[in-house]
Structure 1
Amino acid sequence: MIPKPGPGEKYKESREDGMHALRHFYASVLLDAGESIKALSTYLGHSDPGFTLRTYTHLMPSSETRTRQAVDSMFRKARKPPTAP
């Protein structure tokens, strides 16, 4: 929470609130949807995708989860009976 300013003071800026928090939310939604780090880096205006990766890597789905989902999907497709013409 941004503290109320004293007499004659301006509101103090807080990275946890406002536009910075909105950028993190935006990044987390895109990463959850499978967007690439390179594209996200461009969208956020970062000049180095490595910076974006270091900043947001904790929000990326784990490779173990993606691997398990890929294999499960392949087996589900293999088990479906062929559809009649």
Structure 2
Amino acid sequence: MAGVIPVPERGQPYAESRENGMHALRHFYASVLLDAGESIKALDEYLGHSDPGLTLRVYAHLMPSSRERTRKAVSTTYQRLDKQN
């Protein structure tokens, strides 16, 4: 994936690092799913973690769109309650 794994200089091996390779792709995958609204519990299962707390600590970055989703969810709830009264 372009931009995720840096291309080494000609004739050099790929650098061994947690920031490169499969670990970077795994982190990217988790971040994309969280940004799309996937639950920590589901992500925990997809990644094969035995503890959702680990998933939360490692992957639950505050994604920019999560604030908008939160505002929208609260607003929708208030609107429903207002219509009931």
TM-score class, shorter-chain normalisation, is: 0.5 to 0.7
Whole-Å Cα distance in 2 between the matches of residues 11 and 57 of structure 1? Answer: 28
Whole-Å Cα distance in 2 between the matches of residues 70 and 23 of structure 1? Answer: 28
- The Cα RMSD (Å) is 2.8
Whether 2:62 is the aligned partner of 1:47: answer: no
Correspondence for 1:30 among 33, 36, 54? 33
Computing the radius of gyration from Cα coordinates, the structure with the larger value is 1
Write out aligned runs for 1:1-85 (5 A). Answer: 12-60=15-63, 61-62=66-67, 66=70, 68-73=71-76, 75=79
Provide the TM-score with structure 2 as the length reference. Answer: 0.62
Ranges in structure 1 where 5+ consecutive residues have no aligned partner: 79-85
Number of equivalent positions:
72
Tell me the percent identity: 69
Ranges in structure 2 where 5+ consecutive residues have no aligned partner: 1-5
Can you list the C-alpha shifts for 1:28-76, whole angstroms capped at 9, x where unaligned?
A: 11001111101101111111111001111224535x851x11244465x
**Larger RCO, structures 1/2 (Cα 8 Å, 6+ apart):** 2
